[in-house]
Structure 1
């Protein structure tokens, strides 16, 4: 794999991780209600390692992540605002659930504490990666219907099918 593809693969991994950490969740705008999570599930209580008040830099620099905590947030800080998990906002999401963001950060932390790998160095592991860039389109083109990106979902599924094994699937069940 050439270095452009490697860099692209790393960028895609970062983008996906940031999307996961964003904790997209529909908040009820109609009644102003927000998700209520118990403290044990990483909500605004103090039972989890992180809370809404935890500084993003604290997570980013947590030794538990062995230097990879920075990958949980956009590298380009212009794509985000807020200084805590509770105030984190990402440019590409309209509805973010702070309790879900805290829950996900705590999940990652717990996984690492249990000895599980959550970040893989795809450059040194020889992991195959692909990226498609569509002329004239920026991020956020949806299914790409009626554009040069039409069919990208089928390409992604084909890639996953080529690279996922039964072991990968059963480990997640």
Structure 2
């Protein structure tokens, strides 16, 4: 069964076909499909500090479609967003819709993508115009485990947020430039 909030009920084309609309898709937080796992006290305090500094202003993640065994999300990370090193308990296939990102030594742009296996730690840094990605998972619900376990590690993330936040206020998704 599909989460009713992720599809347009008036657009059902019969069994085996469903339509979803970006404009009416809920945020990933609203769906509750991603659980933050294995938090310690320092991580909880660090995440709280990052949120207070504007972490949520640097990204927008929507669940476009979900059903048991499958999910599709759209993520917009603004320029220089400090995506923490993390893992998920599900494989994920990423497709870059617009903008650029730095993944290790590779710069990837629109039309490029990458696969991250379950349990593999990764992070990427959005380019100067930010990045929009589609995330395909073979699970409807999954976890996120942050590798930053100490307050000093979260303080570094928070410092980047404080530095980048003023620029984020005026940024638009890179796909809007098309």
TM-score for the superposition, normalised by structure 1: 0.26
Say which one has the larger Rg: 1
Higher RCO by CA contacts (8 Å cutoff, separation 6 or greater): 2
